[in-house]
């Protein structure tokens, strides 16, 4: 389904969380879990600065959902995220039976930006979510948030 105003509101919150992560020394990624009633059930942001590179918010959401939501609640929930799920998080999302994903910027966009700034490739291939989890409904990117996400990524890249 196309992104609507409510989707954009949740995506904007994910970008706010990404900014918080950047300002706290982590990588600029944030995510929000919204249930079928529209209630925000959980949110988190990247926490990799202390050395555990698996501390992605989308992975944290999958773990939280497995422990706190019924299978039906998980299947009907939407995860909003500032940047498209990486393969690790796509797999975790699918393994716990979560529903739709909406992202502000795609992995291809972020990878392209970092390459244009002279970055070296990520140790994990930037595969689209549906290459990892073909059953998941995925929407994005959201053009109105592209500049914000790109700026956060640029500041993170320049910080090193």
Q: Which residues contact 139 (CB under 8 A, 6 or more apart)?
A: 1, 2, 3, 7, 100, 101, 102, 103
Binding to Zn ion, residues 38-57 (CB under 5 A): 56
E strands present in 19-116: 30-34, 40-45, 78-83, 100-105
Closest to Zn ion by CB, 36 vs 124, is: 124
Among 17, 32, 89, 132, the residue binding Zn ion under the rule CB under 5 A is 89
Taking the C-alpha atoms of residue 149 and residue 141, their distance in angstroms, rounded to an integer, is 11
Identify which range of 15-23, 68-76, 81-89, 100-108 contacts Zn ion by CB under 5 A.
81-89
Q: Which stretch binds Zn ion (CB under 5 A): 7-15, 17-25, 79-87, 143-151?
A: 79-87
| Residue closer to Zn ion, measured from CB, 3 or 92 | 92
CB of 4 to Zn ion, least distance (A): 25
Q: Exactly one of 14, 17, 32, 86 binds Zn ion (CB under 5 A); which one?
A: 86
Q: Which CA distances in Å does 50 have to 20, 53, 115, 133?
A: 16, 8, 25, 29
- Residues at the interface with Zn ion (CB under 5 A): 56, 86, 88-89
């Amino acid at each position: 389904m196309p992104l609507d105003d409510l989707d954009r509101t949740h995506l904007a919150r994910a970008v706010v969380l990404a900014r918080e992560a950047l300002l706290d020394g982590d990588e600029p990624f944030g995510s929000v879990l919204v249930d079928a009633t529209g209630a925000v059930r959980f949110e988190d942001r990247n926490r990799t600065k202390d050395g555990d590179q698996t501390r992605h918010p989308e992975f944290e959401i999958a773990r939280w959902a497995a422990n706190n939501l019924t299978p039906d609640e998980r299947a009907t929930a939407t995860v909003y995220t500032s940047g498209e799920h990486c393969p690790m998080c796509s797999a975790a999302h699918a393994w716990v039976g979560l529903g739709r994903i909406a992202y502000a910027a795609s992995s291809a966009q972020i990878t392209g930006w970092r390459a244009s700034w002279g970055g070296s490739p990520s140790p994990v291939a930037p595969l689209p979510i549906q290459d990892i989890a073909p059953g998941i409904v995925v929407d994005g990117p959201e053009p109105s948030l592209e500049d914000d996400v790109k700026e956060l990524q640029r500041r993170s890249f320049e910080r090193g």
